């Protein structure tokens, strides 16, 4: 039997609570599997019991709200995925991740990954991963009702619904809230004991991660396959490495808070261009490449919630 390790996440959008990634090698047929969001709570809980009892292997990887604030959503997704996959010890032939981003790039598992939008509907093992992640996270959020009464975590699982917003306005935030999310940043992105300088550093890191995430998503939308994110050596780094056809692109992501600060592409100074060219040569040396063109891209983003404004190929 061709064995697939299915990967899906739960909790990307809520304002509170952990991010949870499910990983399942099914190896059997279970009737009724589907995207967890298309199932009732009762049906998900019934299927979770059957999945955990019958699957060849099943695991969840967790990233807390505090960790997510520290590293950003992109890195949190990679971290939770890796934590889940590390627990899978049975053999499998392929890894399928729901969506368009390979969160295992840069690991020994990265080459076995296929990314597939709607995989949680199309691939049974990914459906199963979606279900165990969703049920585990919902159970955790329900338990928070006792620890933090008044927020209604059991009913809304941390999403930014009206009742949750009203509770925050009345009671403030808890340690389970994601202060890096724009609606909650006014409550203090970092602990009050930290300096203003540290606050600026953390905010910059958050914006940087968000900018790289939207840049990668736009490249994927334009037909690129993401090879690597945040490739680094002690000499240089590259934000995004992607491939489209027989061309490998090396992208530098530049962000400006608003249009008044100038286009992000203006930050590609002659010195920065030299650094980018050196990084490409070093990457090509460390990763022998044949029959491909190597090109530089600059991706400009702007806004408090970053969006891509321009993508320019650099000669």
3-state SS, 62-119, equals: EECHHHHHHHCHHHHHHHHHHHHHCCCCCCCCEEEEECCCCCCCCCCCHHHEEEECCH
- Using pLDDT thresholds of 50, 70 and 90, give the confidence band for residue 198: very low
pTM score, whole prediction: 0.62
The H or E element spanning position 243 is: strand 237-244
Question: Residue 286: pLDDT above 90?
Answer: no
Domains present along the chain, CATH in parentheses: 4-143 (3.30.420.10), 197-314 (3.40.1350.10)
pLDDT over 70 percentage in the chain: 90
Instruction: Out of 100-109, 120-129, 268-277, 278-287, give the one with best mean pLDDT.
Output: 120-129
Which residues are paired to 21 by β-bridges? Answer: 9, 61
SS3 276: helix
- Gyration radius of the chain over CA positions: 21
pLDDT in tens, 67-124: 999 889 999 999 999 999 999 999 999 999 999 999 998 888 999 999 999 999 999 9
pLDDT of residue 213: 82
pLDDT in tens, 142-166: 999 989 999 999 999 999 999 999 9
Average pLDDT taken over every residue of the chain: 87
């Amino acid at each position: 039997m061709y064995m697939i390790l299915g990967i899906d996440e739960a909790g990307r959008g809520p304002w509170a609570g952990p991010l949870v990634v499910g990983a399942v090698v099914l190896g059997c047929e279970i009737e009724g599997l589907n995207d967890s969001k298309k199932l009732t709570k009762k049906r998900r809980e019934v299927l979770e019991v059957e999945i955990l009892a019958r699957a060849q292997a099943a695991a969840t990887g967790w990233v807390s709200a505090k960790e997510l604030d520290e590293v950003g959503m992109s890195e949190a997704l990679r971290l939770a995925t890796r934590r889940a996959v590390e627990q899978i010890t049975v053999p499998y032939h392929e890894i399928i991740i729901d969506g368009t981003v390979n969160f295992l790039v840069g690991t020994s598992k990265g080459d076995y990954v296929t990314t597939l939008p709607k995989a949680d509907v199309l691939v049974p093992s990914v459906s199963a991963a979606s279900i165990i992640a969703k049920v585990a996270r919902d159970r955790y959020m329900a338990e928070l009702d006792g620890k933090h009464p008044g927020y209604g975590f059991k009913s809304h699982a941390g999403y930014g619904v009206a009742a949750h917003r009203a509770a925050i306005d009345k009671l403030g935030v808890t340690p389970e809230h994601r202060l890096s999310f724009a609606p909650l940043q006014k409550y203090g992105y970092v602990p009050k004991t930290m300096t203003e300088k540290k606050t600026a550093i953390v905010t910059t890191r958050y914006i940087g991660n968000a900018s790289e995430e939207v840049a990668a998503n736009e490249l994927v939308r334009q037909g690129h396959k993401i090879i690597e994110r945040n490739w680094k050596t002690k000499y240089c780094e590259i934000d995004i490495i992607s491939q489209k056809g027989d061309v490998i692109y090396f992208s530098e992501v530049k962000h400006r808070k608003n249009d008044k600060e100038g286009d992000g592409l203006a930050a590609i100074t002659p010195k920065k261009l030299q650094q980018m060219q050196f990084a490409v040569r070093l990457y090509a040396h460390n990763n022998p490449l044949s029959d491909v063109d190597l090109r530089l891209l600059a991706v400009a983003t702007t806004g408090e919630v970053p969006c891509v404004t321009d993508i320019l190929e650099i000669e």
